[in-house]
A = this chain, B = another copy of it.
Amino acid sequence: MSGIFYGVGVGPGDPELLTLKAIKVIQAADVIIAPQTEKNPESVALSISRSYITAGTEILKMVFPMVSQKKALTAAWQNNETQISNLLQQGKKVVFLTLGDPMLYSTYIYVYRLLKESGYPIDTIPGISSFSAIGSFLGCPLAEGDEVLSILPATADDKTIDRVMAVSDSVVLLKVYKNYRKIVEKLENNGLLSQAVMASRYGLEGQQIVHNLQEADEKVNYLSTILARKCKNGRSERKEG
């Protein structure tokens, strides 16, 4: 008998933003895997989905060290894979929780690849991305009509960020805790600053919304996202929210 591996997107923070499918999969799980970073023992994905976990379900906190595209996966990853494979071989339903959407800038993508190679059945359940929830909360359209929306991490190289901002009507910037001043400058140069808004820890404790990016603290939280759209016809969409 072989188990099944689920990658479940738990959305940005509000437990009511999980899909019904995600909730059902979590409720039926034998084992829940809550990923955490080396530095932080808190698993945000776990606290978001805590209320849906059936009492007695095994919860495994696993550390997945940050993956660089240039570096091979480390021993820690191989150990995690072995542990998960053993559970699947025992016929368990193993659920891997992931913040936001599993197929968008997540550790899950690498976990998926590792396990795909070993041939176990995998079911991935999409989740609400932070930028989608922030757009709805603030009343900021992400894109309309024939507009181009680009999503990119603020850690991308300078030239790429410039080219993307030049060609896009709307941008979503992730991981803006690094290079904050540089990003604000680039938004300004590309006519994207006046309508930009930043949300930090959206849907979580300590949520903060910044409408004037020039005035933000230098210390920007790790979970920060900027939405920015070009101003058209003198119309200020950002003031709608």
B-binding residues in A (CB < 8 A): 7, 9, 11, 14-21, 23-24, 67-69, 101-106, 109-110, 112-113, 116, 122, 124-129, 132-133, 135-137, 139-153, 155-157, 160, 163-164, 167-168, 240
Given contact pairs A16-B20, A105-B145, enumerate 17 new A-B contacts (beta carbons under 8 Å). Answer: A17-B19, A18-B19, A20-B23, A69-B144, A101-B142, A103-B141, A104-B142, A109-B141, A110-B144, A116-B240, A124-B136, A125-B136, A126-B136, A128-B128, A149-B150, A150-B151, A151-B151
**How long is the Cα–Cα vector from A153 to B142 in the complex, in angstroms?**
13
Q: What is the bound-complex CA distance between A98 and B128, given in angstroms?
A: 15
Copies of this protein chain in the complex: 2
Determine the chain B residues whose CB is within 8 A of the CB of A14 once the complex forms.
Answer: 21
- Considering the chains assembled together, what is the distance between the CA atoms of A70 and B80 in angstroms? 55
Q: Is the CB of A126 within 8 A of B133?
A: yes
